[in-house]
């Protein structure tokens, strides 16, 4: 079993839709959770960063962590074609700087 599971997609939605991206994990020691966005031919860029359980909102993006279910989500409201990218979840334990990544979900927002 992989430490972090993420559906690779592709996920195709119409412009304006609400997008839900998810990851599950098996290591209960993970405490810090991140979402990265990666455009084609670019490196990943940090989108959201959360600690422990709860929600965090930043503009059209909401990150949600449910540690009891070992499940994290990223919601994108009013999706735009510019949101088309691969979204990577990443997480780490309290110590050290080693990140564990999901495989990434490819999202396409169509006009």
Partner 1 sequence: ETGVTQTPRHLVMGMTNKKSLKCEQHLGHNAMYWYKQSAKKPLELMFVYNFKEQTENNSVPSRFSPECPNSSHLFLHLHTLQPEDSALYLCASSPEGLAASTDTQYFGPGTRLTVL
- For partner 1, the binding residue among 24, 61, 100, 108 (CB under 8 A) is 100
CB of 43 to partner 1, least distance (A): 4
Q: Residues 35, 41, 42, CA angle at the centre, nearest 5°?
A: 40
What part of residues 47-66 is at the interface with partner 1 (CB under 8 A)? Answer: 49, 51
Taking the complex as a whole, the smallest distance from the CB of residue 14 to partner 1 amounts, in Å, to: 26
- Maximum alpha-carbon separation in the chain: 43
Cis ω for the linkage preceding 94 (within 30 of 0): no
Q: How far is the CB of 78 from partner 1 (least distance, A)?
A: 26
**Binding-site residue total for partner 1 (CB under 8 A)?**
28
**How far, CA to CA in Å, does 27 sit from each of 3, 23, 31, 35, 40?**
6, 12, 10, 17, 30
Member of 46, 69, 78, 81 binding partner 1 (CB under 8 A)? 46
């Amino acid at each position: 079993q992989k430490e972090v599971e993420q559906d690779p997609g592709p996920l195709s939605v119409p412009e304006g839709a609400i997008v839900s991206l998810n990851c599950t994990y098996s290591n209960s020691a993970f405490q810090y959770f991140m979402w990265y966005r990666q455009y084609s031919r670019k490196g990943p860029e940090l989108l959201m960063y959360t600690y422990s359980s709860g929600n965090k909102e930043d503009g059209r993006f909401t990150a949600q962590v449910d540690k009891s279910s070992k499940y994290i989500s990223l919601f994108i409201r009013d999706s735009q074609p510019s949101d088309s990218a691969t979204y990577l979840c990443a997480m780490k334990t309290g110590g050290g700087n080693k990140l564990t990544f999901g495989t990434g979900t490819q999202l396409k927002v169509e006009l």
